[in-house]
Structure 1
Amino acid sequence: MLTIPRTELPADLQILHQNIREFLVQQTPREGKSESAQLSGTTNLKGDQQYLFDKQIDHLVFDWLEKHFEGGEVLSEEDSNLRHFGKNGLYRFVSDPVDGSDNFFRGLPLSSISLAVLASKSELCVDQVQFSMVGSLASSVPILASTNKGAWQGDTRLRVSPVSEVKNAFISCEMNHAFVDSHLGKLLKDARGVRSYGCASQAITLVAQGALDVHIDIRSRLTPESFLAAAHILQEAGGSLFIEGEKKIASSLADRFNLIVASTPELLCEVKQRLFGDITP
């Protein structure tokens, strides 16, 4: 496995998060402007319409990385091209500049920047992530993780909850464009509580923080930039993870997956068994 040299990378990512929040504070996407006036007229890799601020933040992230690192390659939801900078490409950065763009535009609370850092040429899978950041646009303190060093928000180390049964679990389920079959409907009915946020990175990190116990996204629509950083954080907080797709490992950000994360292996096993009849952990 390729490794990244020890650096102060997590601290650097916190500065990037601060810069993005400062930029967005100056943006008032809803003030006096219709949604159509805020759209860029282009679509991202998923085919979703892009807001102007999506593209602005994407450029800000690339420019910041180019200034602060010797070299690397950047994969982003907002740009279909693999972009390179510098001569010494140590890093592969996987970016979702604004996860939850619709939430941000409408003034809803959950949106974030998500950034996973891998060694250059690494496969696009959670086990290859070395550093990660999910920074809520509503908070000045992002969540950061380093492999085998835990997940942290400021001085607070993140830990998942001990919940091990659906009947005691607060579950987040992504519902946009979702088909709710009888198995999923019964699971949600039996849970202690159900939420839906429209921001994958935030929902997954809420499980890492112990605020939620499960997050489910089984629409076959989730792409790697939306979950790589958050899933890395979840694992560093002690959580359990299930990912499936047409490919075992993504070859590009266009590849789509299903994902379930849970606070404990027992809870993940119960959720999978009830959804798929799968009893393996």
Structure 2
Amino acid sequence: MNYELLCSKVIAVTRLTGNFIRKEAMSFDANAIEYKGLNDLVSYVDKNAEKQIVKNLTKILPEAGFITEEETENIKGQTYTWIIDPLDGTTNFIHGIPTYSISIALYENDQPVIGVVYEINRGEMFSAYKGGGAYLNNKPIRVSQNNNLSKCLLATGFPYYQFDKQPQYIQLFTEMMQQCHGLRRIGSAAVDLAYVACGRFDAYFEYNLNSYDVAAGAFIVQQAGGTILNFSGGQEIFETREVLATNSQVTEEILQTIKKYF
């Protein structure tokens, strides 16, 4: 498998769908939304984008299966499986807030080998492939080298359902805000992870995440020299639905704070 060549093909597919989403954003009617659950929104744009991605990726790798957010196609492959979020940041998209992305990962025998995150409005294509490092618009990227938490900028997400953990999460926010330069919530987990990979954020943490939210971004962070863990310090992020992504310099300090509350 030529991962570099395959990654370039995935980038082309991603860019094509990004053009579709960008065009739809110009005339999108916020009334054209559906609710999958409490505050869990979806639109025809998500669904059509996913169908486009699945169709084009099938042409590239016919034997691969799919795990997709909108479940237009959901059959795990024997060797290869694509994990796709066609529009990460749907709520931002619906409200006209310009931070949303496409997230595509390829897993081979349950291990990530390709990750692509496209932040559509800024035209920023983050990518990584096995053994090849991480890139932003084809230029190599690395995580930050900041080892002083007091000078770090962190990212997180807010729970929009399953509020049972909200009280301790707010306590965690309070402590983290007092330890760093700032805490940001921009509304797309895939973009948060990509920003850790290129050094804009020094770390990111969130819970209640799905595999399609983080599969591509987490791999890009790792290929850029970062660390991906769950809130207990383990490797199982899909099973626990928790992610801590860091520049590898401030991992233990942040992890110890998280463990106070989780």
Is 2:153 the counterpart of 1:153?
no
Structure 1 residues without counterparts, runs of 5 or longer: none
Which one of the candidate residues 98, 117, 136 is aligned to 1:134?
117
Structure 2 residues without counterparts, runs of 5 or longer: 161-165
Is 2:21 the counterpart of 1:24?
yes
Residue type of the alignment partner of 2:99: L
Shift of 1:269: 0.3
Residue type of the alignment partner of 1:28: A
Report 1:35-74 matches (<5 A).
35=30, 37-39=31-33, 41=34, 43=36, 48-74=40-66
CA distance, structure 2, for counterparts of residue 277 and residue 84 of structure 1: 37
The RMSD of aligned alpha carbons is 2.6
Whether the aligned pair in 2 keeps the contact of 1:150 and 1:237 (CA below 8 Å) is yes
Match in the other structure for 2:244: 260
Match in the other structure for 2:102: 113
CA distance, structure 1, for counterparts of residue 193 and residue 222 of structure 2: 10
Residue type of the alignment partner of 1:73: G
Match in the other structure for 2:146: 163
Shift of 1:74: 0.9
Report 1:1-281 matches (<5 A).
5-7=1-3, 8-28=5-25, 31=28, 33=29, 35=30, 37-39=31-33, 41=34, 43=36, 48-79=40-71, 82-83=74-75, 91-119=80-108, 122-123=109-110, 128-177=111-160, 178-179=166-167, 180-217=169-206, 219=207, 221-244=208-231, 249=236, 257-264=241-248, 266-277=249-260
Shift of 1:182: 2.8
CA distance, structure 2, for counterparts of residue 171 and residue 10 of structure 1: 29
SS of 2:178 mapped into structure 1: helix
CA distance, structure 1, for counterparts of residue 124 and residue 154 of structure 2: 24
CA distance, structure 2, for counterparts of residue 117 and residue 209 of structure 1: 21
Whether the aligned pair in 1 keeps the contact of 2:14 and 2:53 (CA below 8 Å) is no
CA distance, structure 1, for counterparts of residue 39 and residue 50 of structure 2: 16
Residue type of the alignment partner of 1:191: C
Shift of 1:97: 0.7
Whether the aligned pair in 2 keeps the contact of 1:184 and 1:275 (CA below 8 Å) is no
Deviations 1:101-120 (A, max 9, x none): 1111222121111011012x
SS of 2:115 mapped into structure 1: strand
Shift of 1:151: 0.3
Deviations 1:105-163 (A, max 9, x none): 222121111011012xx33xxxx101110111113341110122100123311111111
Whether the aligned pair in 1 keeps the contact of 2:51 and 2:72 (CA below 8 Å) is no
Whether the aligned pair in 2 keeps the contact of 1:114 and 1:135 (CA below 8 Å) is yes
Shift of 1:29: 6.4
Whether the aligned pair in 1 keeps the contact of 2:228 and 2:235 (CA below 8 Å) is no
Residue type of the alignment partner of 2:186: Y
Whether the aligned pair in 2 keeps the contact of 1:30 and 1:106 (CA below 8 Å) is no
Measured at CA, do residues 167 and 73 of structure 1 come closer, stay the same or move farther in structure 2, by a change above 3 Å? same
TM-score by length of 1: 0.81
Shift of 1:51: 1.1
TM-score by length of 2: 0.86
Shift of 1:71: 2.1
Alignment length (residue pairs) = 253
